[in-house]
Amino acid sequence: MPAGPVATHDWKRYVDAAPPGAIAEFGCFDGGSARILATLGRPVFAFDTFDGIPAADFRAGEDAENPPGKFRPSAPPWRLFEQHPNVYPVVGRYAETLPTLAGLRFAFVYIDCDLYESYRQVLEYAVPRLDGDVFMCDDYGCTGAKRAVDEWLRQHPEWTFDGRSVFTRRPLVLCSKCKATLTPAEAAVAPPQPPASNHRA
């Protein structure tokens, strides 16, 4: 969870640059960030237990700073988003909800779900459903989340990580449809610069 102000201008920049489609947020707590994302003019799928950190996905040790029950919201989802009809809460543990939603696609993904196991599940689910070239993770400073991201990155070298919170697809993959026309040297040069972000890692 951001310690300081959320860099909403970064979200707007990435969302405005993304292809048409929905935003997905994984980890919503009291709906603050989802309500901000909802102002960007797209449907927002808001994935959370809406009952706090789930015990079944918590690992003592690496997830210790985010114990079960933390982030229990102050109101039910319908009330959190009653002024934002474009927010669609997906209520439940990811292990239970994600397998039921195979058909969704997203233009931009924001992940803020803290735990190793939650990150592992969300990355596996969300990135293959991402039509845009950028997703953002909040929790690289959490031990478990960092491990999940690092493991995922090792398995997906086509993605680059800007060292903070922003992930951008490597040019080779950006150009995958015309890869055959590029020499390896051409494909390797001039990687797109990740947009500067002041979003906390």
Ligand X SMILES: C[S@@+](CC[C@H](N)C(=O)[O-])C[C@H]1O[C@@H](n2cnc3c(N)ncnc32)[C@H](O)[C@@H]1O
Q: Which residues contact ligand X (rule: CB under 6 A)?
A: 1, 27-30, 32-33, 48-49, 52-54, 57, 71, 93-94, 112-115, 118
The least distance separating ligand X from the CB of residue 154, rounded to whole angstroms, comes to 22
The least distance separating ligand X from the CB of residue 139, rounded to whole angstroms, comes to 8
Angle at CA of residue 112, ends 192 and 103, nearest 5°:
80
Q: Report the half-sphere exposure of 177 (CA within 13 A, side-chain side).
A: 1
Q: Which residue of this chain has its Cβ atom nearest to ligand X in the complex?
A: 27
Q: Are 48 and 94 in contact (CB under 8 A)?
A: no
The least distance separating ligand X from the CB of residue 134, rounded to whole angstroms, comes to 17
Closer Cβ to ligand X, 94 or 125, answer by number: 94
Closer Cβ to ligand X, 133 or 139, answer by number: 139
Range 120-127 contact pairs with CB under 8 angstroms and sequence separation of 24 or more: 120/148, 120/151, 120/152, 121/57, 121/94, 121/95, 122/26, 122/47, 122/94, 122/98, 123/148, 123/149, 123/152, 124/152, 125/94, 125/98, 126/24, 126/26, 127/152, 127/156, 127/159
Closer Cβ to ligand X, 33 or 197, answer by number: 33
The least distance separating ligand X from the CB of residue 186, rounded to whole angstroms, comes to 39
Closer Cβ to ligand X, 50 or 187, answer by number: 50
Which structure tokens are listed for 174?
């950006």
The full length of the chain comes to: 201
The least distance separating ligand X from the CB of residue 50, rounded to whole angstroms, comes to 7
SS3 content of the chain, % helix, strand, coil (to 5): 35, 15, 50
The least distance separating ligand X from the CB of residue 28, rounded to whole angstroms, comes to 5
Closer Cβ to ligand X, 54 or 171, answer by number: 54
Closer Cβ to ligand X, 5 or 128, answer by number: 5
